[in-house]
């Protein structure tokens, strides 16, 4: 059954943090390098996307833990798998390969899960398209506000390569996520539209997830939530939502607002609270699960999950709490206006 049809029936659960789970393995520089990159000329520790090539069993194992916890949608480990982001490690040429390898890791996890649970509900692969480490709306040079480290066309080229890898490897949906600069997201949307137009293939569903960065309720580039939604509505997304930056308690009012203005499905995957002084996340699974359950009961959401600091335990609590709750209905639009 397609993800659109499934969303009509129930609240779907997306997985939790990848970085949090990778940290549990306490990997060394040598672990990140593997055999293939043993003599690479720069340090690569921290390049979690590279693990899809050098340590695929670890990434597959993390995906499998989220499936066992009750996740319906598994994100590929490709948050930084673009030539622009990979330039930090001088690994631009790996962008396409990283995306293909990441999809294989998810597919393997799903196959293992289905072998163990043959009567399971459908599981979906979401191709994670991150925000990049360069922004189109803001200057990195405080002395030159007009300067940009990258152009719109360069961003489109980078995203197109990533989309090609994700599509050819067989994802079910494309997830443009953690958007702090909507212009970057618009470049990703443009790349998606152009890619499918040029190959003459039906577009995959698009999920869009922004990030409210502070108490003002705005993105880093200064947009209000309503302005952000208006800026991406033309993409006709499967869902629009919020993730990262905030814990569920701080995100609630924004999710409520989004549920009232969005004509598509809504998603929310908050952090496990706000980080403490050591940068750690202290919110327990039952606490996050309680917040998510309240949102679901109030018909704010169609897709829920976790971002930074969340674990399979958090996702299991969410999945258990929303399993028998009715999803938010799509609004009936007045097409006569």
73 occurs within a structural domain: yes
Checking if the pLDDT of 272 tops 90, the result is yes
Tell me whether residue 297 is in a domain. Answer: yes
Over the stretch 233-247, which tens digit does the pLDDT of each residue have? 999 999 999 999 999
- pLDDT of the residue at 145: 85
Task: Name the residue range of residue 172's domain.
Answer: 3-322
Position 337 pLDDT exceeds 50: no
Evaluate if residue 215 carries a pLDDT over 80. Answer: no
Classify residue 332: in a domain, yes or no.
no
Could you give the percent of the chain with pLDDT greater than 70?
99
b/e 198-224 (16+ beta carbons within 10 angstroms → b): eeeeeebbbbbbbbbbeeeeebbbebe
Q: Could you tell me if residue 335 is inside a domain?
A: no
Mean of the per-residue pLDDT values for the chain? Answer: 95
Secondary structure, 3-state, 187-250: HHHHHHHHHHHHHCCCCCCEEEEECCCCCCCECCCCCEHHHHHHHHHHHCCCEEEEEEEEEHHH
pLDDT at 51 over 60: yes
Distance CA 273, CA 247 (A): 4
User: Is 21 within a domain?
Assistant: yes
What is the CATH number for 140? 3.20.20.330
**pLDDT tens digits, 66-121:** 999 999 999 999 999 999 999 999 999 999 999 999 999 999 999 999 999 999 99
More confident residue, 205 or 214: 205
9-33 pLDDT tens trace:
999 999 999 999 999 999 999 999 9
Q: Count how many domains the chain has.
A: 1
With 80 as the cut, is the pLDDT of residue 171 above it? yes
Contacts of 316 (CB under 8 A, 6+ apart): 69, 70, 285
pTM: 0.96
Please report whether residue 330 resides in a domain. Answer: no
pLDDT in tens, 275-319: 898 888 999 999 999 999 999 999 999 999 999 999 999 999 999
> Is residue 210 domain-resident?
yes
């Amino acid at each position: 059954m397609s993800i659109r049809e499934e969303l009509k029936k129930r609240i779907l659960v997306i997985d939790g943090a990848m970085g949090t789970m990778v940290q549990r393995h306490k990997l060394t520089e040598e672990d990140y390098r593997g055999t293939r990159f043993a003599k690479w000329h720069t340090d690569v520790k921290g390049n979690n996307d590279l693990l899809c090539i050098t340590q695929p069993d670890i990434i597959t194992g993390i995906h499998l833990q989220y499936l066992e916890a009750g996740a319906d949608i598994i994100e590929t480990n490709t948050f930084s798998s673009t030539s622009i982001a990979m330039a930090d490690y001088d690994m631009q040429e790996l962008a396409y390969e990283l995306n293909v390898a990441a999809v294989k890791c998810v597919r393997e996890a799903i196959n293992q899960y289905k072998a163990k649970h043959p009567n399971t509900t459908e599981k979906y692969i979401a191709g994670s398209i991150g925000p990049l480490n360069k922004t189109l709306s803001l200057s990195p040079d405080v002395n030159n506000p007009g300067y940009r480290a990258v152009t719109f066309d360069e961003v489109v080229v980078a995203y197109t390569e990533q989309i090609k890898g994700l599509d050819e490897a067989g994802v079910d949906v494309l997830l443009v996520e953690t958007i702090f600069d909507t212009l970057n997201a618009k470049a990703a949307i443009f790349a998606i539209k152009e890619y499918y137009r040029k190959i003459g293939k039906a577009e995959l569903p698009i999920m869009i997830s922004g990030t409210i960065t502070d108490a003002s309720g705005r993105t880093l580039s200064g947009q209000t939530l309503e302005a952000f939604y208006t800026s991406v509505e033309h993409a006709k997304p499967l869902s629009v939502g919020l993730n990262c930056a905030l814990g569920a308690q701080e995100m609630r009012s924004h999710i409520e607002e989004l549920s009232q203005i969005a004509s598509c499905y809504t998603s929310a995957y908050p952090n496990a609270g706000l980080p403490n002084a050591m940068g750690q996340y202290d919110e327990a699974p039952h606490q996050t699960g309680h917040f998510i359950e309240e949102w679901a009961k109030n018909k704010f959401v169609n897709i829920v999950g976790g971002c930074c600091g969340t674990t399979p335990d958090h996702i299991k609590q969410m999945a258990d709490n929303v399993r028998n709750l009715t999803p938010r209905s799509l609004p009936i639009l007045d097409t006569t206006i």
